[in-house]
């Protein structure tokens, strides 16, 4: 292991995206944040935008609506083109990932009822939405270890594009070609890796904006429906924002053409402004360049893992092959939970823990530096060498 | 008509709530805003809170979640006690009114399927949600003129506590005693009139926070389920925020006890902070005192209507009896639409229009003054006397 901190610093000096770090708020330069895959940082522009938008509300009141009302589709169009490899008119932003998953899975079941399937270890809300729909519709829920072979005789599947625990990338094109209609969960890929939804033949997808897209805590999620499929689909939640000629009040429900039919209630204007600023930064950097840097950062984690952590009982919990890995690297250890707490409390490094034994080290190439990775793994190595994880109160509540 | 502007000013001078006006942002003292029933004003504290919360996100990042995660129930508890006449543990804030209506109507249908009913002229999203559920569940949708007599042989009804057009108050206690399980829509009553949900035997209710509660454009809505009913109800949208022991990932869905089972996805933290500040102001003023002032303001509108507007062809579109009226007064006129535009464009008075022929004059007793009402009706009288509504371009887009 010849890599030194100076080598890492040299990579930062040569990083074409280095200047983006200045576009985020940093209040503590000692702390190393490797959890942008859970909650992204605050962009400087977002703070300003929120101030301006509050003032806009205060000043213009209801007359601001003509400028606000298009935010779900405006931000959706930006996401579509800059981040998702989709077309304008295929994406809206609003509601939570969970609610959007519900809308699309329900709509997909309308097109062809039958068993619903997902990975047994998929993110909980993905499983719960399907479990609830299966109960509601009287169809079978299948939780499987091998999703690919389960697709042929299922009606609807939910698959995470990047696995929240291992970071493994699923092959969208291949899995779309099987029998089931797949609703893709892009929470851990949007903004982190190039996503060619149209190229991969994706019909339906949702994803969150508070991770790599830096939209803020609990920011609204997005929803994608391929243009060709839109006329055949209806949201289960019929609401006034999905209605044709919305302000002509005395009509039966008649959904608008296009993606807007998946809107339901009044859009959250403040939050959408925050999402827009976050997406703009990703768009400005470019997903391809972000991916290139993310790969290099993750490779550095793996190099340092092999050199420093493996001898301490760690195992890699993510694919070694960068082409199969998203923007975080999980390292596994029997004492992962107390190690994770010790990292936060004693070493000022913020990763996150995912049970039973994974520490996720997420890199957000808009603001994570090579020296951050170097220092974080160095601190991790030191504290495990010193056994500091045994000094942590095991009862501490965990919320991440 | 002996009332003068000096009389109105004297009432303001004697108003015990007058000081609350200073707790809102005013950027234009000439403009008279009578549309707080559509979008409430920006509280000064909300602007500060949004700044602080953005900074909290920027500084604490994911470690802020332990303080943020309870916001839906914390703000819900405040609403329950200060505004809704409910108990802590019966209300959450999150998602839109439309999504919350969907959750509760769907859950109510699970308890006993059958026809669903609402007023033919209820607010569109209330009708659409029921229309969609009727299609999904294969039950009959009944749109009726007389809701009371339609309740006995329906399974689920949606009724607006205060009618969005006329401002008429429905008798919750009486209507709850009929056959149907009623989901109450409190959008136009929450924060404006005392609502004793428990006293009136209400089981289910939703409402918005961006009108009289001043939560901001598109702020998340609330959802109420009476304590006794909670164990028997499940949200149709099973999500990870409704799950018992949320961060133990490898479980089947097992909803938490209590109102939290109606949570779905990650809560919108920024928006919830704004809602909390708005609700705090209403709580500080007290709903009973707000109601008293609202009644006096609306009576002034009616007095002035009778004296000045009725001779110009206006008719009252709201109940005369204050006990049967919420916090807005609708005045009807065949030229309501161009008059409404002229008021905004030429007289700097902001009401809103609701088809076919109503101008809603909403009073928000936290910040509307008696002189505002006096001046607004005076300007309205003047412009109609001068026929200025005929100078308005009839093609102007309307969004309110």
DSSP string, A57-86: HHHHGGGGHHHHTTHHHHHHHHHIIIIIS-
Catalytic: which of A33, A210, A241, A367?
A210
Instruction: Return the C-alpha torsion angle A47, A49, A52, A58, nearest 10.
Output: -90
Per-residue pLDDT reduced to its tens digit, B127-167 = 999 999 999 999 999 999 999 999 999 999 999 999 999 99
Tell me what percent of the residues of chain B surpass a pLDDT of 70. 98
Residue A62 C-alpha, separation from nearest chain B C-alpha, in angstroms? 6
CB A178 within 8 A of CB A78: no
Q: Which residue has the higher pLDDT, B354 or A190?
A: A190
Q: Tell how far CA B175 is from the center of its chain.
A: 20
For B9, residues 6+ apart whose C-beta sits below 8 A from its C-beta are B370, B371
DSSP codes of every residue in A285-344? H-HHHHHHHHHHHHHHHHHHIIIIIGGGT-EE-S-SSGGGB-SEEEEE-TTHHHHHHHHH
Give the pLDDT confidence score for residue A1 in this predicted structure: 56
pTM: predicted TM-score of the whole model, two decimal places = 0.96
Give the pLDDT confidence score for residue A400 in this predicted structure: 41
Pairing of strands A349-350, A32-33: parallel
Among B258, B285, B312, the domain-final residue is B285
CB contact under 8 A, A268 and B136: no
Residue A218 C-alpha, separation from nearest chain B C-alpha, in angstroms? 4
Chain A residue at shortest CA distance from B240: A125
b/e A146-168 (16+ beta carbons within 10 angstroms → b): ebeebbeebbbbbbbbbbbbbbb
B248-251, Cβ contacts within 8 angstroms, sequence gap of 24 or more:
B248/A355, B249/A121, B249/A123, B249/A124, B249/A354, B249/A355, B250/A121, B250/A355, B251/A124
- CA–CA distance, B245 with B349 (Å, rounded to integer): 52
Task: Examine the domain organization and report whether B279 and B360 are in the same domain.
Answer: no
Task: Examine the domain organization and report whether A90 and A192 are in the same domain.
Answer: yes
Q: Is B7 designated active site?
A: no
Task: Examine the domain organization and report whether A159 and A232 are in the same domain.
Answer: yes
Chain B residue at shortest CA distance from A110: B136
Task: Examine the domain organization and report whether A111 and A255 are in the same domain.
Answer: yes
Catalytic: which of A23, A103, A211, A381?
A211
CB contact under 8 A, B55 and A46: no
- CA–CA distance, B258 with B241 (Å, rounded to integer): 12
pLDDT score of B99 more than 50: yes
Q: How many contacts (CB atoms, under 8 Å) link A and B?
A: 273
Locus of tokens 């887009």: B397
Q: Rg for chain A (alpha carbons), in Å?
A: 22
Chosen for mutation from B237, B272, B362 (greatest number of chain A CBs closer than 10 Å) is: B237
CB contact under 8 A, B239 and A41: no
Among A285, A304, A327, the domain-final residue is A285
Per-residue pLDDT reduced to its tens digit, B269-318 = 999 999 999 999 999 999 999 999 999 999 999 999 999 999 999 999 99
Residue A118 C-alpha, separation from nearest chain B C-alpha, in angstroms? 13
The minimal CB distance from A218 to the residues B50, B266, B344 is found for B266
CB contact under 8 A, A121 and B399: no
Chosen for mutation from B266, B350, B361, B367 (greatest number of chain A CBs closer than 10 Å) is: B266
b/e B182-205 (16+ beta carbons within 10 angstroms → b): bbbbbbbbbbbbebebbebebbbb
- CA–CA distance, B147 with B276 (Å, rounded to integer): 34
Give the pLDDT confidence score for residue B1 in this predicted structure: 56
- CA–CA distance, A18 with A38 (Å, rounded to integer): 22
- CATH code: domain of residue A344: 3.90.1150.10
Chain B residue at shortest CA distance from A143: B252
Coil vs helix vs strand at A183: strand
Residue B7 C-alpha, separation from nearest chain A C-alpha, in angstroms? 29
Q: Which residues pair with A92 in a beta bridge?
A: A223
Q: Rg for chain B (alpha carbons), in Å?
A: 22
Cβ neighbours of B128 in A, within 8 Å: 238-240, 242-243, 253
Give the pLDDT confidence score for residue B398 in this predicted structure: 47
Cβ neighbours of A41 in B, within 8 Å: 58, 61
CB contact under 8 A, B61 and A33: yes
Task: Examine the domain organization and report whether A30 and A81 are in the same domain.
Answer: no
Chain A residue at shortest CA distance from B48: A51
- CA–CA distance, B259 with B230 (Å, rounded to integer): 7
CB A297 within 8 A of CB A314: no
Does a cis peptide bond (omega within 30 degrees of 0) precede residue B179? Answer: no
Chain A residue at shortest CA distance from B72: A218
CB contact under 8 A, A54 and B42: yes
DSSP codes of every residue in B71-126? HHHHHHHHHIIIIIS--TTSEEE-S-HHHHHHHHHHHHHHHS---EEEETTS-HHH
Chosen for mutation from B54, B123, B345, B348 (greatest number of chain A CBs closer than 10 Å) is: B54
In a domain, B266, yes or no: yes
Alpha helix ranges (H) inside B251-335: 269-285, 287-304
The minimal CB distance from A95 to the residues B99, B241, B247 is found for B99
Task: Examine the domain organization and report whether B231 and B378 are in the same domain.
Answer: no
Q: Tell how far CA A209 is from the center of its chain.
A: 6
Task: Examine the domain organization and report whether A247 and A137 are in the same domain.
Answer: yes
CB contact under 8 A, B33 and A355: no
Cβ neighbours of A136 in B, within 8 Å: 236
Cβ neighbours of A270 in B, within 8 Å: 50, 216-219, 270-271, 274
What phi and psi, each to the nearest 5 degrees, are found at residue B166? Answer: -85, -20
Chain A residue at shortest CA distance from B41: A58
Tokens of A8: 């890492």
CB contact under 8 A, B50 and A50: yes
CB contact under 8 A, B33 and A271: no
Q: Is B185 designated active site?
A: yes
Locus of tokens 């102001």: B281
- CA–CA distance, B382 with B309 (Å, rounded to integer): 10
Residue A1 C-alpha, separation from nearest chain B C-alpha, in angstroms? 33
Average pLDDT over residues B261-267: 96
Chosen for mutation from A67, A103, A125, A353 (greatest number of chain B CBs closer than 10 Å) is: A125
Q: Tell how far CA B84 is from the center of its chain.
A: 12
Cβ neighbours of B265 in A, within 8 Å: 95-99, 125, 221
In a domain, A316, yes or no: yes
In a domain, A128, yes or no: yes
Tokens of B6: 């000096």
Catalytic: which of B126, B185, B357, B372?
B185
Q: Is B210 designated active site?
A: yes
- CATH code: domain of residue A237: 3.40.640.10
In a domain, A73, yes or no: yes
A259, A253, A237: which is closest to A102 by C-alpha? A237
Task: Examine the domain organization and report whether B352 and B294 are in the same domain.
Answer: yes
Q: Is A185 designated active site?
A: yes
In a domain, A380, yes or no: yes
Task: Examine the domain organization and report whether B260 and B274 are in the same domain.
Answer: yes
Catalytic: which of A360, A369, A372, A375?
A360
Longest dimension (CA), chain B: 73
Per-residue pLDDT reduced to its tens digit, B183-199 = 999 999 999 999 999 99
CB B295 within 8 A of CB B322: yes
CB contact under 8 A, B237 and A46: no
The minimal CB distance from A350 to the residues B61, B264, B267 is found for B61
In a domain, B398, yes or no: no
ipTM of the complex: 0.95
CB contact under 8 A, A270 and B270: yes
Task: Examine the domain organization and report whether B252 and B347 are in the same domain.
Answer: no
CB contact under 8 A, A61 and B350: yes
The minimal CB distance from B355 to the residues A237, A249, A264 is found for A249
For A341, residues 6+ apart whose C-beta sits below 8 A from its C-beta are A389, A392, A393, A396, A398
Q: Is B24 designated active site?
A: no
In a domain, A106, yes or no: yes
- Low pLDDT (below 70) residues in chain A: 1-2, 394-400
Chain B residue at shortest CA distance from A37: B62
Cβ neighbours of B223 in A, within 8 Å: none
In a domain, B56, yes or no: no
Cβ neighbours of A98 in B, within 8 Å: 237, 239-241, 264-266
Q: Tell how far CA A155 is from the center of its chain.
A: 25
Catalytic: which of A126, A163, A185, A375?
A185
Chosen for mutation from B67, B69, B260, B265 (greatest number of chain A CBs closer than 10 Å) is: B265
CB A266 within 8 A of CB B208: yes
| Domains of chain A: total | 2
- CA–CA distance, B131 with B145 (Å, rounded to integer): 16
Task: Examine the domain organization and report whether B203 and B349 are in the same domain.
Answer: no
The minimal CB distance from A266 to the residues B59, B218, B242 is found for B218
For B238, the domain range is 69-285
Task: Examine the domain organization and report whether A151 and A278 are in the same domain.
Answer: yes
Cβ neighbours of B206 in A, within 8 Å: none
Task: Identify the band that residue B394 occupies on the pLDDT scale cut at 50, 70 and 90.
Answer: low
Give the pLDDT confidence score for residue B246 in this predicted structure: 83
Instruction: Return the C-alpha torsion angle B158, B161, B162, B168, nearest 10.
Output: 100
Among A254, A285, A316, the domain-final residue is A285
CB contact under 8 A, B41 and A47: no
């Amino acid at each position: 292991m010849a890599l030194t901190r100076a080598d890492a610093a040299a990579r930062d000096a040569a990083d074409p995206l280095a200047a983006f770090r200045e576009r985020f708020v940093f209040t503590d330069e000692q702390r190393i944040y490797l959890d942008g895959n859970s909650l992204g940082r605050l962009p400087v522009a977002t703070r300003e935008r929120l101030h301006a938008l509050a003032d806009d509300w205060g000043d213009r009141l209801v007359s601001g609506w003509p400028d606000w009302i298009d935010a779900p589709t405006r931000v959706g169009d930006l996401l579509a083109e800059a981040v998702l490899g989709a077309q304008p008119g295929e994406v809206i932003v609003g509601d939570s990932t969970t609610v959007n998953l519900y809308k699309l899975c329900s709509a997909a079941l309308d097109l062809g009822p039958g068993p619903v399937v997902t990975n047994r270890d998929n993110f909980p809300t993905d499983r719960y939405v399907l479990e609830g729909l299966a109960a509601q519709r009287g169809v079978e829920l299948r939780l499987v270890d091998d999703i690919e072979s389960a697709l042929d005789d299922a009606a609807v599947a939910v698959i995470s594009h990047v696995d929240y625990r291992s970071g493994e990338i699923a092959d969208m094109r291949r899995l779309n070609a099987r029998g089931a209609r797949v609703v893709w969960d892009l929470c851990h890929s949007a903004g982190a890796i190039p996503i060619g939804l149209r190229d991969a033949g994706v019909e339906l997808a949702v994803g969150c904006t508070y991770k790599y897209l830096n939209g803020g805590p609990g920011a609204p999620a997005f929803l994608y429906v391929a243009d060709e499929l839109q006329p055949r689909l209806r949201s289960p939640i019929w609401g006034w924002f999905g209605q044709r000629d919305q302000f002509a009040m005395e009509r039966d429900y008649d959904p608008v053409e296009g993606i807007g039919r998946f809107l339901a209630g009044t859009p959250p204007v403040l939050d959408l402004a925050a999402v827009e600023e976050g997406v703009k930064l990703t768009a400005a950097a470019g997903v391809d360049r972000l991916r290139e840097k993310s790969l290099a950062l993750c490779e550095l984690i793996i190099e340092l893992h092999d050199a420093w952590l493996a001898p301490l009982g760690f195992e890699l919990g993510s694919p070694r092959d960068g082409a199969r890995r998203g923007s975080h690297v999980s390292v596994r250890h029997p004492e992962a939970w107390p190690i994770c707490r010790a990292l936060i409390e004693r070493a000022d490094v913020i990763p996150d823990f995912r049970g039973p034994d994974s520490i996720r080290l997420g890199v957000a190439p808009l603001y994570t530096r090579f020296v951050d990775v170097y220092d974080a793994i160095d601190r991790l190595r030191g504290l495990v060498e010193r056994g500091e994880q045994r000094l942590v109160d095991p009862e501490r509540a965990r919320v991440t």
